[in-house]
Structure 1
Amino acid sequence: MAYENWIGHALIAIISLSLVVYVVTTGAMLRGRIKRSSGNIFKLHKKYGIYFGSFILGSFIYGLWIRLQHGESILLSVHGRLGLVILLIVALQVIPGLTLKNRATYRGLHKIMGYALAPILIIDASWGLYNGVIAGTKNLVLFHSISGGLAALFLTWIILEIRYPTQRSLSRARVASYVTVFLVTAGCWIAGGYNYLTSYGFQVKPLILEGPYPWVHEIVMELKEHIFVFLPIIALALSVTLSTLDGDIFLDDTKSRRALTMIAYLALFMVLLMFLMGAVISNAGQTGAEALK
């Protein structure tokens, strides 16, 4: 099913991802995985966990309402089933935290579900967004989209490890950088490049140029092509730097960490910008196809 308003779906995805990143970050601070910031971290973790749970419940009800308007069950789509899984995980996260006095009994499960929630949410958001901007999801485009979303998640992880360092932060940042390089290279570069050469130029590009928004190809796609070239290089440079950096320098040299943070922020910005531009391009292709019918 193609959603009538993909922008609304994108906004829901952005808000939910922002909330889950904040909740996971404060949870990691509570467990000592990253350095604590100022303030009552437990109170913030609890409060934003409730906000996140409420938002997920509301978005699930909204999605259910949309599906029912089309006479379809929410469980018929992968996007809907993932949404139900996310809702159940959130319920298992929030409700015991509010009701149990001895949280130590389920702390391990709480941590596992919390860390699993972010990638599942990204996969679900990518799936739903691309169902919303093209009529029927192409597997290669979907893989391209999910890879970009997961790369953004791992870059966020790197940024948090650098900004709030502990003794093991550098080793975790290195692992996250290796995964980022793989996702950017395989998903964004190889899959995206293959789709551009085999599908976009022959099928989507003519529809955009003949449709009401030809500037999408002339401006947005041109910009995406340039970012496409440099993104894997920046991700690789970040990974190599983290791999060769001495642990003591990482912990003690604020200037080095600041420089690494700026590189990671740049890579994250480029990934998110490519994700947004991909949605705009796909939507322009669909609009062009409808205009030519």
Structure 2
Amino acid sequence: MYSLLYLLLTALLCGQGLTHTWNEQLTVIENGIFAGANGYPRGYVSRTDPGFNDDMMTYLLPPVASNRIRVDGLDLLCAPTQRTANQTTNFPRLQVSPGAYVAMKYLENGHVTLPQNQPGKSSAAGTVFVFGTTQPIDSEMLTDVLQWTTDGTGGNQRGRLLTSQNFDDNRCYQINSGTISTARQKEFPNPTVGQPESTNEQWCETDLIIPTDLEIDTMYTIYWVWQWPTEPGAPGLPDGKDEYYTTCSDLDIVVRPTQGEPSNPLPQQDPQTAAVSDFQSRTAYTTNPLSTSSISSFAS
């Protein structure tokens, strides 16, 4: 009975506009300002493409079809369209220099501004972990990558944890009538240039610094992993449930990104031009990917 009620509630909430999220776009930050041409994840599909639907970019683990409440060693980290290095026409890789800051942008889709619609979820809409590797493989497993550490000695040692940040960057908002959204619309207005009375959704961002020891003219792979579990005791989920969403991207490591290129904005582009004020120092409430009991067994 509780499971049925939970499913009905979920369906109702989705009908109110709650969808799930992926890393939509990457851009370099220079002196707090977004600079140069944008980059995009592997196999990117724009929301304005004919026939687009969220399933084209959403990748959930464990998969719904598995009927599991826990991730396991069979869960491939990247979506089928993102398991190899590939870029869609007009949506290139980001060019970035070692030591530069990068904003990984995404829509919050109500997860931040409508928290009452998501029972059993952690504060700040969960945690985003970003991992990096110079040795990507097509069969990358989520449970392997979650063991990577900031010093590169964790797990199979093929990569490292680059940052841990709250999903909510304390600025982003969907345009809705919720109290969080309306307050942030006033505090962080986001008008279209030349249209001071206009309003636009404020995208969220995950901010990371590119390792300084990367070689020039090489490709670096980064994995955006949003950890958004349901805590035990939620309707229909007495034991809770793992919930991860991932986006896989590649970066071109260069001396300096090519100058003079257009910023190739998306048709629905957020007009914001500046990073969040604390982009150089953001941390998450949870900084250890293995801190939840559901995955701690994979660290042994």
TM-score, length basis structure 1: 0.26
More contact order relative to length (CA 8 Å, sep ≥ 6):
2
TM-score, length basis structure 2: 0.26
| Bigger radius of gyration among the two | 1
Say which structure is richer in helix.
1
